Chain A
Amino acid sequence: MKHPIGHEAIETKGWFATHKYLLLRRFCQLGILALFVIGPLLDIWIIKGNLSSSLLLDTVPMTDPFVALQAFAAGHLLESSAIIGAMLITGFYFLLGGRVFCSWVCPVNMISDAAQWLRRKLKIRTSTKLSRKTRFWVLAMTLVLPIYLGTMAWELINPVSMFHRGVIFGMGAGWVILVGIFLFDLLLVEQGWCGHICPQGAFYNLVGRFSPIKVTADKREQCDKCMDCFAVCPEPQVLKMPLFGENKGFGPLITSADCTNCARCIDICSKDVFKITTILPEKAEV
């Protein structure tokens, strides 16, 4: 009989250390959301706008490069402040790891994590097969459609921007799509939205391809194959080779850009196998 996931880690490290990065991530996600909301709600203007484009302290422009690219595909040359903003954000996620957006900022992450959690609790194991490469096809679609339509078609239904915008400016019927994602993840495909379909995640995946901050299975010789990290990882395929591929010549560094740097594996491991590390760009393709 196997212990519940995280049991060993909680026993050896305590509950808090086992949830350290998870709590930090929730704090970060909700904190960013709160900074945007206190503007219109309490008239405290630290940041204006939403994740698509914003203005920090009335000076620093920030624009989601994925949206900027859609505008470009639709045939509009952005004003300089949006271009500067898009470059800032691209640089930021290039440095920290592209999909850091997904696990530390994107509000939809909380929906998909909740579905994943409930899946484990209800022991739902069925999952329709869907390639994790699908998201790149969807990404291509979101950038090709505007060329023909002259409008940012994806932004009509993009749950990421819709959720964030909805919290600040009013959700309307947008919750339908969010509930849809929750049910899709819960009943149809495990990690379906964030891990298989979301083109925004795919975009940041490409941005972070050579980013210098990675997770490494530094002490993989200590691994007792409890598989807890596979159970909590949103992209478990990234763990296989770094953890078990030593005899095939694979290094311990998690090089796949699918990895969101969520650091949940670090939390859940009772043997302290994982840690966050920085690497020089030329070593990124170990």
Chain B
Amino acid sequence: MSSSKPYQARKMSRRQLITDASRGICGVGLLATGLAGYAKQSQSLAAQCLRPPGALIEEDFLAACVRCGLCVEACPYDTLKLGKLFEPVTTGTPYFDANIIPCEMCEDIPCQEACPTGAISPELESINDAQMGLAVLLDQETCLNTQGLRCDICHRVCPLIDEAITLEVQRNTRTGHHAMFIPTVHSDKCTGCGKCEHACPLPEAAIKVLPREIAKGELGKHYRWGWIEKDKAGGSLIDEVLDLPDRVPEGG
């Protein structure tokens, strides 16, 4: 083999240049399209996946989290896991499934402390203000308390007992003379730690913690509650209503 020829710098023709460039752009464009589709799909969090306490809202979290796993290693209870490829959570991001291991709500929030990027926001000061998700009594037909039993387990394991979950007394219409104590979650207090779901004695929990985006409804922005507006104004906002005579059905 002669050594002088093969190593001359090849001159690239314009045609070659355009061919190469368009091949590159087409190939990468194809890859980008597929990737964008996959990315769009994985932008919504699956219902059983919860983010660590203080995590930014999902959209911002996915822009911020570098998938380093420092929060996972900081978690003393092995609650947090990193999402794997094709799992229903964005690859490499931390999540927990309350049904497997719930959040123990450490007071010093080690996962937040470990996060280098602010994906777990440093603004969360107390673990009791965390909003990892929201517990919902999803199945009122299987919950033992709705059968009139005094299971109460979800209520008793709640770290914010009588604040995040209260037992609301209702009349038991089946027996006619007993009470039912319905576990009732209050969204302003519930941290979404998942202890209630984890502790539910049913083979499939009746109370489940969902990401807040799924669990919460949203009021129309134009809605005003008359009684609240009345309190704010210190009195009725409209003039005295005309008092018309009541019409009673005949024979009533």
B30 nearest CB across to chain A (Å): 10
Residues 83-125 of chain B, each 1 if its beta carbon lies under 8 Å from chain A, else 0: 0111100111000000000000000000000111111001000
Instruction: Evaluate whether A157 and B35 lie within 8 angstroms (CB atoms) in the complex, with A76-B117, A82-B117, A150-B62 already known.
Output: yes
Are A161 and B116 neighbours in the complex by a CB distance under 8 Å? Answer: no
- Answer yes or no: B24 CB below 8 A from chain A CBs: yes
Residues of chain A within 8 A of B70, CB atoms compared = 48-49, 53-55
Residues of A within 8 A of B72 (CB): 169
Binds A, one of B38-46, B226-234, B238-246: B38-46
Using A150-B63, A155-B67, A157-B35 as known contacts, say yes or no to A162 and B116 having CB atoms under 8 A apart: no
Q: How many A-B residue pairs have CB under 8 A?
A: 170
Minimum Cβ distance to chain A for residue B110 (Å): 11
Contact of A153 among B23, B35, B86, B122 (CB under 8 A): B35
> CB within 8 A of B116: which of A39, A81, A165, A176?
A81
| Contact A63–B66 (Cβ < 8 Å) | yes
Tell me, yes or no, whether A234 is within 8 Å of chain B by CB.
Answer: no
Contact B63 A156 (CB under 8 A): no
**Interface residues in B, total, Cβ within 8 A:** 48
Residue of A nearest to B41 (CB): A156
- A53 with B62, Cβ < 8 A, contacts A133-B24, A169-B82, A172-B84 known: no
**Among A79, A161, A244, contact of B92 (Cβ-Cβ < 8 Å):** A161
Set of chain A residues within 8 Å of B161, measured between Cβ atoms: none
Q: Tell me, yes or no, whether B250 is within 8 Å of chain A by CB.
A: no
Q: Determine whether the beta carbon of A137 is less than 8 Å from that of B86.
A: no
Pair A170/B67 contact, Cβ less than 8 Å: no
Q: Does A64 contact B (CB under 8 A)?
A: yes
> Bound state CA distance, A52 and B115, in angstroms?
12
**Contacts of A78 on B, CB cut-off 8 Å?**
64, 116-118
Chain A residues close to B by CB (< 8 Å) = 39-40, 48-50, 52-55, 61, 63-64, 67-68, 71, 74-79, 81-82, 85, 131, 133-134, 137-138, 140-141, 144-146, 148-157, 161-162, 165-166, 168-174, 176-177, 225, 240-241, 244-245
Which 3 A-B pairs give the minimum distances between C-beta atoms? A172-B84, A53-B68, A74-B63
